Amino acid sequence: MGLADSAETGRQATGLCGYHTGLAAEDGVASDYARRGYPLVARRWRGQSGEIDLVMQNGDGVILVEVKKSRSFARAADRLSQRQIRRLMQAAEEFLGTQPHGSLTDVRFDVALVNAYGDIKVIENALC
């Protein structure tokens, strides 16, 4: 195995670790919402424009949740870029198109921050 192969293997391992860390963060956030009475509708819903991490039921409406994990809440919040917000909004339009009431569906955009200890901080209506 050459140096380039070793570096590629290291990147793959790091990417796989990040993937599983992200899944664990989403699991924790989904459980937190469920405990508060919001059941999971979809996880990692993917449209042509992008992905919505979690879709939770809120009565007749939905809560679209972007999950961000990092060492601290502040670092997690910093990881949400304007480009991601645009993609999330476009994906939300696509998702709402699949709902019985379409764009008239009651919707809320939350951002759930997860720190290194697995603590969760939810910012409701973060993307108004």
pLDDT tens for each residue of 24-72 = 899 999 999 999 999 999 999 999 999 999 999 999 999 999 999 999 9
At residue 3 the predicted structure's pLDDT band, cuts being 50, 70 and 90, is very low
Q: Tokens 């990417």 appear where?
A: 15
pTM to 2 decimal places: 0.84
Say what percent of the chain tops pLDDT 90. Answer: 80
Locate 86 and state its tokens.
């645009």
Identify the CA nearest to 54 among candidates 110, 117, 104, 118: 110
Whether domain 3-123 has CATH 3.40.1350.10: yes
The C-alpha atoms of residue 50 and residue 60 are separated, in whole angstroms, by 24
Classify strands 120-123 and 107-114 as parallel, antiparallel or unpaired. antiparallel
Question: Cα Rg for the chain, rounded, in angstroms?
Answer: 16
At 73, the amino acid letter reads F
